[in-house]
Amino acid sequence: MTTSPARYDVLSRALHWLTAIAVIAAFILGPEHFGRQMRQGLDPATRLDIVVHESLGMLIMALTLVRLLWVAVRPAKPRFDLPTWMSVAAKFTHGLLWMLLLALPLSALMALGSEAHPLTLLGGIRINEMPFIAQSSLAGLADWGDVHGWMGDAILWLAGLHALAAIYHHVKLKDGVLLAMLPSRR
| pLDDT at position 186 over 70 | no
Q: For residue range 62-90, what is the model confidence (pLDDT) as tens digits?
A: 999 999 999 999 989 999 999 999 999 99
Is 34 a domain residue?
A: yes
Assigned domain for 4 exists: no
Q: How far apart are CA 153 and CA 160, in angstroms?
A: 11
Taking phi first (over 0 means left), then psi (-120 to 50 degrees means alpha), and beta for anything else, what does residue 33 get?
Answer: left
Amino acid at 160: G
> Residue 101: its pLDDT value, please?
98
In a domain, 181, yes or no: no
- Look at the chain and report how many structural domains it folds into: 1
Structural domain of 51: 10-75+82-173
Which CATH number goes with the domain that contains 166?
A: 1.20.950
- Does the residue 159 lie in any domain? yes
Domain assignment present for 17: yes
**pLDDT score of 42:** 86
Residue 184 counted as domain residue: no
Sorted by sequence, the CB contacts under 8 Å of residue 78 that are 6+ apart come out as: 4, 5, 6, 7, 8, 176, 180
Please report whether residue 69 resides in a domain: yes
- Residue 121's beta-bridge partner residues? 125
- pLDDT tens digit sequence for 112-166: 998 888 999 999 999 998 888 888 888 889 989 999 999 999 999 999 999 999 9
**Percent over 90 (pLDDT), the chain:** 73
- Average pLDDT over the chain reads 92
pLDDT range class, residue 41, cuts 50, 70, 90:
confident
Range 84-102 average pLDDT: 97
Residue 178 lies in a domain: no
